[in-house]
Amino acid sequence: MDPIKTGRLIRQLRTGQGLTQRALADRLHVTDKTVSKWETGGGCPDISLLRELSGVLGVSMETLLRGEISGQEDNGNMKKLRFYICPDCGNILTSSAEADVHCCGRRLEALTPEKAEERDMLHMEAADGEWFITAEHPMTKENYIAFVAFLTDSQLLLSRQYPEWSLQVRMPYYARGRLLWYSTDKGLLYRDIFIRR
């Protein structure tokens, strides 16, 4: 923890909420001089206060420790959408910018999409203004595709899949975008779609 960076962040978040040093201090049961010391880089909050401080300021403890809010530079660009899967409950989460994502008490890392090889491709067929998407994947409890998503410049269409179901997905037809799917054995795969008219 860099006391200068963390102090600047505490001040930024405190003033952004319209709190005085005294008001923040009262909520944390410390003195306003303690808050002033943090904000000027003269010391760091005690680790026992981090959870409560992060709750009051509305950021994660990791953000306080890092001393900066990440992700502001890409302004939520949909082309950089990140996917997260909780290994405990299977929750599917996304963020359009850098984020601290947690589920079931653990911090999740963004999945890294890999271009699918021919043998792993999903089958796509255009019919009646829709994409009909299927796969020859086994879809067992141990090995299945958890979701299929289509990402455009401004939209995300996501279809949750379950083990022991045959994979059959209908999505609106888009001539351009990225088809993504998460395989429990291969990870996050993608195929770029670009159809000339």
Tell me the pLDDT tens digit for each residue of 166-191. Answer: 999 999 999 999 999 999 999 999 99
Domain membership of residue 93 as a residue range: 72-111
Same domain, 139 and 194: yes
Same domain, 128 and 195: yes
Same domain, 55 and 83: no
Same domain, 132 and 95: no
* CATH at 178: 2.60.40.730
Distant-in-sequence, close-in-space partners of 182: CB < 8 Å, separation ≥ 6: 83, 85, 92, 111, 145, 146, 147, 188, 189
Same domain, 104 and 116: no
* CATH at 28: 1.10.260.40
What confidence tens digit (pLDDT) does each residue in 109-164 have? 999 999 999 999 999 999 899 999 999 888 998 899 999 999 988 899 999 999 98
Using DSSP's 3-state secondary structure scheme, residue 5 falls into helix
Model-level pTM?
Answer: 0.65
Q: What is the number of structural domains in the chain?
A: 3
